[in-house]
Structure 1
Amino acid sequence: MNFSAINTASDKQTNHGAIQTYVVLGGGTAGWISAAILIRSLVNTKVNIHVVESPHTPTVGVGEATIPSIMDMLQYLNIPAQDFINKTNATFKLAIKFTDWYAKGAHYWHPFGYIGNEIDGKPFYQHWLKYQQQGGALSFTDFSPAIALAKQNKFFIPDPKQPTNLSSSSYALHFDAALVAKYLQHYCETRGVKIHKAHVKDVKRDNTGNIGQLIFNDNKTLSGDFFIDCSGQQGLLIGKTLRVGYENWQQYLPVDSAAVVQTENSGALPPYTESIAHAHGWRWRIPLQNRTGNGYVYCSDFCDDNAAMRLLESNVFGEKLTDTRCLKFTTGMRDKCWEKNCLAVGLSSGFLEPLESTSIYLIMRAMLNFVQSIPTKDPSPFTVSEYNRLMRHEYHCIRDFIVLHYCATTRKDTPYWQMWQSLSIPDSLQTKIALFKEYGRLYQDKSDLFSQDSWYAVLEGMGVRPNAYDPVVDASVAEKIHSALPSAAEALIDSAGKALGHEEYLERIR
């Protein structure tokens, strides 16, 4: 995620039409990330930023998994990673392990970082595919440094000055979302962000239809030039006030509920997220330093809440630390994320199930796109339209990638999985799969969050295999390449074995 593209503002850039007051409605992860990025990008200006956080809204607090862009955000905010990790009970994440998705008893990995290296300018996947079709026994992700580490519960941060065969690995974090909100609140407070602990009972619009004021329960008011709606699924500003519609995607992704519980840690802390498919959906396990976050994402058409909670509780390890409870959601996104003087961020803009840990990425992306085109009090309709196009494309790409995990399954053991044998998939994903099935070529989209190696890993993991490898790799000397592959994979295992254990790495940080 290219936070370096953000140009921080200064007093010299202000003018009579500049926005003087921003109001962020909602705290939590979305609200405090939004405020933090905003105050960082507007450093040295006289802008006022307010965050309104309701004292009546509880945090979910089940633990959160991220993708490597979280480290880019910390660097942009000048937050020391070591301090952040210690104060949010964070652990490291190298990959996601998917169990029982393609078939019961089968598993595959989606790693961070690169898998293999290009050979003669062609994707490593194509050379591996030729190797595999000629009898090679090694799997595609056997050539991932991140997976070599994850399988041994090891961890390693690449040093650009001392490259090794593990250097192309990458990593993200698991952390306590409530502690992250607390950490970023302190970050914002020390930089002048004003905080209001209040419940909004009404919203007043001006004669142009823009939002003008928030009215609190005690009848106090807060005016602003621009409002960022982080009020969650209710979308108090973007939905209830401005009446922006919501596009429901449950025809593609029908899960609509999640049971969640926190438990004590039991056993080693794995440096990866686990996603295990079950009868009516899938279960996550997110290890933190002090506890484990657990959840079961399911479709209520096939499973009621009580059955879901029983299934989750029967599959967790360690004593329960919280009561098990259920959350409801609607997969989809707003027709527009930016309308008039209001930007929807987080759940108010849309929801995609946390299968690929993209929720915090979408918060960061929403704010990154926004601060790259900070508007005046009267924003250009072309700026607004382009922002909405970019965010829609982000959501569509992630939606397609998540559907891929389901639509290629061979499971037929329950009505839920039988449904997936005939469920429609987006036209855009059908095109991507059809192209891949010919010669393993991927749809070229530089703005897709997921890299080519991510698509290769999940396609291969879900049993989607092209009819043939790309014939251009025949120009390379196959015998030399294929003979080198086993030793390369073995070298990764050996190097990973010499790295620090995940928990030992965390202990050194502490």
Structure 2
Amino acid sequence: MRLDNRDKIQKYVIVGGGTAGWFSAAILVRALLNTGCKIELVESPNVPTIGVGEATIPSIVDTLRYLNIPLPEFIRETNATFKLGIKFSDWHTVGDHYWHQFGFVGGKMDDRPFYQHWLKYVMHGGELDYTDFSPSVAMAKHNKFHIGNPNKPNNLSASTYAFHFDAGLVAKYLTDYCVNNGVIHTKSHVRDVVLDDRGFIKSVISEKGQPIAGDFFIDCSGQHGLLIEKALNVGVENWQQYLPVDRAIAVQSETLSQLPPYTESIAHEHGWRWKIPLQNRTGNGYVYCSEFCDENTAIDALNRHIIGEKLTDPKVLSFVTGKRDKIWFKNCLSVGLSSGFLEPLESTSINLIVKGMMDFVNCIPDKDCNQQTIDEYNRLMDIEYECIRDFLVLHYCTSARQDSEFWRSWQHRSIPDSLQTKLALFRQQGRLFQNELDLFTADSWYAVLEGMKVRPISYDPLIDASDFTKIKQSLPQYIKGLQDSVDLLMTHDEFLAKITH
């Protein structure tokens, strides 16, 4: 039986621009190339995007590759810098710091996790930190950077990288990319939404009263949820009890004299502060809990720590942590802030946009939108959000800080059952029982757990089968090899200059 073309989706309508809208359009137009489908993005000229500096995770590199976007061009056009991980300061106690690296740490020995061998090493008096064995951290500490040749592996090959970039410039770059590939760009405010007799979205109405019809709609309208919430009445599962920060202050300042290839996250009295280096400016922000801190206090706290001249006035952002009850409902997919919000502590917002769209293009429906397909999509995205939520909560609930009401509240605040179970298992013999859909690898969990001083009672007994004397001797040699390789590299600034000219 031949499928009737009338059953196929002929037109997609994306409501909302910004990072979410244009990444969604770019992925969709790339996936639907040569299919004859139309894509129209409706962007209100009256609604400003958040537009603060963005930090990403390594999946962004795969996204650019999927879109066939040249790396040097993208870096030039978005004022991007490279990112090897995050330096966390004052999270466990004031004055302490640790790294969350990109890429692997060490390497498997005798087919067992490197962490377990390292754990035995420190329990027998070893003094090297876990992330000392990370190529990314070795480079970040010395402001060095390189991209390895996959055909010529070496001891730095286990590192990966992401970007810091200007979100406004990224949206502009992707706008050109999409329009050049046939996406219709309509600048108009959406004043109404029309449903058919099934409750599916039939069209959106422009501010001039013109209907913009489609077969499938993607809601990138931000926390307003113009389609998914206002029209289709899909609610949000609130996670404020787990992640209580609900405000952010953002300020841009002049560029740093030396561009570090990492994001900084510094814990403060009522939350934490970010510092994101771009080629032309520095992004600064303070994420805090309004239960313990007012807006003026937060602005003062942020201003005290900004280095150099401020380029913008403070921008105040408010949000509710949580996830849409159903990210895909009927013929509407919510993407970006319309699907949920998780604070930017681990730079996961763009990954969730891309993951949401990539999962969607792998199960594109017909006009009827098969319910089993929708249910499976929502199940997978729910897991994605929950795993990231647990990883974020981990940074807070293991802190030993008691210097403010905010930090003292974490001594009795509830945490998700899934994280409670994970921590209980880990504290015995350092084992991580991971969900295979968890965005963060075991090495990421190990890095944050160790950074927050969560150490198991013992190590995996199977590690005793290995020659401990040999392994103990090899660890300092591994560190020396890393350092020797890093010494030969260009600085991050030199690498940027080379790749952009």
Normalising by structure 1, we get a TM-score of 0.97
- In structure 1, C-alpha distance between the alignment counterparts of 2:55 and 2:260, rounded to whole Å: 13
Any idea what SS the aligned residue of 2:483 has?
helix
1:15 aligns to 2:8 (yes or no): no
Q: 2:79 pairs with 89, 95, 99, which one?
A: 89
Alignment deviations for residues 386-421 of structure 1 (CA, whole Å, 9 cap, x no partner): 000011000000000000000000000000000011
Query: Is contact 1:205–1:213 with CA below 8 Å preserved after alignment?
Result: yes
Alignment deviations for residues 8-54 of structure 1 (CA, whole Å, 9 cap, x no partner): xxxx9983210001000000000000000000000101111000000
Q: Map of 1:89-488 to 2, 5 A cutoff?
A: 89-488=79-478
| Structure-2 change in CA distance of 1:426 and 1:161 (3 Å) | same
- In structure 2, C-alpha distance between the alignment counterparts of 1:380 and 1:221, rounded to whole Å: 26
In structure 2, list runs of 5 or more residues that go unmatched.
none
Q: Structure 1 residues 24-33 or 14-23, which shifts more?
A: 14-23
Alignment deviations for residues 256-276 of structure 1 (CA, whole Å, 9 cap, x no partner): 000000000133110000000
Query: Is contact 2:139–2:486 with CA below 8 Å preserved after alignment?
Result: yes
- In structure 1, C-alpha distance between the alignment counterparts of 2:210 and 2:315, rounded to whole Å: 34
Matched length: 499
Q: Which residue of 2 aligns with 1:56?
A: 46
- In structure 1, C-alpha distance between the alignment counterparts of 2:19 and 2:151, rounded to whole Å: 34
- In structure 1, C-alpha distance between the alignment counterparts of 2:138 and 2:488, rounded to whole Å: 11
2:136 partner letter: A
1:491 aligns to 2:491 (yes or no): no
Please report how far the alpha carbon of residue 444 of structure 1 lies from its aligned counterpart in structure 2 after TM superposition. Answer: 2.6
Please report how far the alpha carbon of residue 497 of structure 1 lies from its aligned counterpart in structure 2 after TM superposition. Answer: 1.6
Q: 1:29 pairs with 10, 13, 19, which one?
A: 19
Please report how far the alpha carbon of residue 494 of structure 1 lies from its aligned counterpart in structure 2 after TM superposition. Answer: 1.8
Query: Is contact 1:96–1:109 with CA below 8 Å preserved after alignment?
Result: yes
Please report how far the alpha carbon of residue 218 of structure 1 lies from its aligned counterpart in structure 2 after TM superposition. Answer: 1.1
Please report how far the alpha carbon of residue 220 of structure 1 lies from its aligned counterpart in structure 2 after TM superposition. Answer: 1.4
- In structure 1, C-alpha distance between the alignment counterparts of 2:106 and 2:3, rounded to whole Å: 46
Query: Is contact 1:309–1:325 with CA below 8 Å preserved after alignment?
Result: no
- In structure 2, C-alpha distance between the alignment counterparts of 1:480 and 1:15, rounded to whole Å: 66
Any idea what SS the aligned residue of 1:262 has?
strand
2:388 partner letter: I
- In structure 1, C-alpha distance between the alignment counterparts of 2:351 and 2:238, rounded to whole Å: 21
Any idea what SS the aligned residue of 1:195 has?
strand
Any idea what SS the aligned residue of 2:301 has?
helix
Q: Map of 1:69-84 to 2, 5 A cutoff?
A: 69-84=59-74
- In structure 2, C-alpha distance between the alignment counterparts of 1:391 and 1:496, rounded to whole Å: 38
| Structure-2 change in CA distance of 1:13 and 1:180 (3 Å) | farther
Please report how far the alpha carbon of residue 217 of structure 1 lies from its aligned counterpart in structure 2 after TM superposition. Answer: 1.3
Q: CA RMSD in A?
A: 0.9
- In structure 2, C-alpha distance between the alignment counterparts of 1:376 and 1:59, rounded to whole Å: 32
1:507 aligns to 2:492 (yes or no): no
1:161 partner letter: N
| Structure-2 change in CA distance of 1:482 and 1:380 (3 Å) | same
- In structure 2, C-alpha distance between the alignment counterparts of 1:14 and 1:455, rounded to whole Å: 49
Q: Structure 1 residues 493-502 or 85-94, which shifts more?
A: 493-502
- In structure 1, C-alpha distance between the alignment counterparts of 2:441 and 2:432, rounded to whole Å: 10
| Structure-2 change in CA distance of 1:14 and 1:436 (3 Å) | farther
- In structure 1, C-alpha distance between the alignment counterparts of 2:256 and 2:73, rounded to whole Å: 25
2:377 partner letter: Y
1:413 partner letter: D
- In structure 2, C-alpha distance between the alignment counterparts of 1:94 and 1:506, rounded to whole Å: 14
- In structure 2, C-alpha distance between the alignment counterparts of 1:395 and 1:426, rounded to whole Å: 13
Please report how far the alpha carbon of residue 213 of structure 1 lies from its aligned counterpart in structure 2 after TM superposition. Answer: 1.1
Query: Is contact 2:256–2:277 with CA below 8 Å preserved after alignment?
Result: no
Any idea what SS the aligned residue of 1:397 has?
helix
- In structure 2, C-alpha distance between the alignment counterparts of 1:174 and 1:342, rounded to whole Å: 31
- In structure 1, C-alpha distance between the alignment counterparts of 2:196 and 2:367, rounded to whole Å: 13
| Structure-2 change in CA distance of 1:501 and 1:341 (3 Å) | same
- In structure 1, C-alpha distance between the alignment counterparts of 2:471 and 2:200, rounded to whole Å: 62
In structure 1, list runs of 5 or more residues that go unmatched.
1-11
Please report how far the alpha carbon of residue 57 of structure 1 lies from its aligned counterpart in structure 2 after TM superposition. Answer: 1.2
| Structure-2 change in CA distance of 1:13 and 1:304 (3 Å) | farther
Alignment deviations for residues 192-234 of structure 1 (CA, whole Å, 9 cap, x no partner): 1001100011111111111111111111110010000000001
1:423 partner letter: R
Any idea what SS the aligned residue of 1:311 has?
helix
- In structure 2, C-alpha distance between the alignment counterparts of 1:276 and 1:183, rounded to whole Å: 31
Any idea what SS the aligned residue of 1:155 has?
coil
- In structure 2, C-alpha distance between the alignment counterparts of 1:14 and 1:434, rounded to whole Å: 54
- In structure 2, C-alpha distance between the alignment counterparts of 1:298 and 1:99, rounded to whole Å: 16
2:130 partner letter: F
| Structure-2 change in CA distance of 1:13 and 1:317 (3 Å) | farther
Any idea what SS the aligned residue of 2:292 has?
coil
Query: Is contact 2:193–2:203 with CA below 8 Å preserved after alignment?
Result: yes
Any idea what SS the aligned residue of 1:326 has?
strand
Please report how far the alpha carbon of residue 62 of structure 1 lies from its aligned counterpart in structure 2 after TM superposition. Answer: 1.8
2:475 partner letter: L
Query: Is contact 1:97–1:110 with CA below 8 Å preserved after alignment?
Result: yes
- In structure 1, C-alpha distance between the alignment counterparts of 2:499 and 2:256, rounded to whole Å: 21
